[in-house]
Amino acid sequence: MADQDGHPDRDEFDLSSILHALSDANRRSVIVQLAEEPDGTEQLCTVFGLPWAPSTRTHHFRVLREAGLVRQRDVGNGRLTSLRRSDLDAVFPGLLDQIVGADRKGRADKS
Amino acid sequence: MADQDGHPDRDEFDLSSILHALSDANRRSVIVQLAEEPDGTEQLCTVFGLPWAPSTRTHHFRVLREAGLVRQRDVGNGRLTSLRRSDLDAVFPGLLDQIVGADRKGRADKS
């Protein structure tokens, strides 16, 4: 069962929720940036260079969290975010890398 | 440029639109069913076994069409739908098969 912060267990992962979370280019950018870091890297929400106001940011990170894409934990004044790569790769093998790769290609084709 | 029926050209394909179109389980089911048929197969919109009212069906097929996932053409009283596999595979290689595979796995895990 999802914990109090809305992190789903692996057996609750839902493809529709994952694709919905990744259908927003800015939310997808968070995942692409995390995927470029070594596994387990935690980042403050402010480092992703996104155009979100704080309230909007809260919403978008909740969408990512509730889809199972990221894990978040509070530290002092901030919140650290990490990619749930091993969980994602266990439930939908290859999907994360495929979408990260498609995102890079999409940006390259447009530039 | 997209034609009058809203079919985008390959260079207009947008990953966000594709993921959004596929984030709905029923819309994704259309694509999964088409992907199981030989390339170029055309199906009437009514064969997919979906719970949509006609007006809703029109909306959902437009989302699929405008994302570049399907091509549609009118015939007599109906409309034939086919998967744009070669276009999708050219723009985002592997993405379609990956999501179709993830959809099958998601259904199997839940059954």
**In the prediction, which pLDDT does A75 show?**
92
Task: List the domain range (segments joined by +) for residue A77.
Answer: 10-104
| pLDDT score for B77 | 83
Task: Report the residue of A28, A89, A98 to disrupt the B interface, i.e. the one with the largest count of B CBs within 10 Å.
Answer: A98
Q: What is the CATH number for B28? A: 1.10.10.10
Residues of A within 8 A of B14 (CB-CB) are 106
Residues B71-94: b if buried by 16+ CB within 10 A, e if exposed? bbeeeeeebbbbbbbebbeebbee
Q: Does residue A97 form part of some domain?
A: yes
Instruction: Using pLDDT thresholds of 50, 70 and 90, give the confidence band for residue A88.
Output: very high
Domain assignment present for A4: no
Kindly report the nearest CA distance between residue A37 and chain B, in angstroms: 22
Percentage, residues of chain A above pLDDT 90? 81
Reported ipTM: 0.94
Q: Is residue B110 one of the residues assigned to a domain?
A: no
* Residue B44 domain-assigned (yes or no): yes
A103 to chain B, closest Cα gap in Å: 7
Q: Is pLDDT of A1 > 80?
A: no
| SS3 letters across A40-51 | CCCEEHHHHCCC
Flag whether pLDDT at B101 surpasses 90.
yes
pLDDT band of residue A5 (cuts 50, 70, 90) is confident
- Percent of chain A surpassing pLDDT 70: 100
> What's the mean pLDDT in A87-109?
95
pLDDT for position A85:
97
Q: Is residue B1 part of a domain?
A: no
Q: What is the model's pLDDT at position A70?
A: 98
Please provide the distance, in angstroms rounded to a whole number, between the alpha carbons at the two ends of chain B: 42
Does residue A5 fall inside a structural domain?
no
Tokens of B7: 């079919």
- pLDDT tens string B46-80: 889 999 998 899 999 999 999 999 999 999 888 99
**CA distance, residue A21 to nearest chain B CA (Å):** 9
Pairing of β A70-75 and β A78-83: antiparallel
Count other C-beta atoms under 10 Å from residue A68's C-beta: 24
Q: How far apart are CA A100 and CA B20, in angstroms?
A: 15
The answer to the question of residue B2 being in a domain is no
Please count the residues of chain A: 111
Q: Extract the runs of DSSP E, i.e. beta strands, from A19-104.
A: 43-44, 70-75, 78-83
| pTM tops 0.90 | yes
Measured CA to CA, the distance from residue B26 to residue B58 in angstroms comes to 13
Contact at CB, B102 and A109, closer than 8 angstroms: no
Is the residue at A15 inside a domain? yes
Number of domains in chain B: 1
- Determine the average pLDDT of the residues in B72-95: 95
Find the mean pLDDT for residues B83-97: 97
Mean pLDDT of B4-32: 95
pLDDT at A103: 96
**What is the average pLDDT score of chain A?**
94
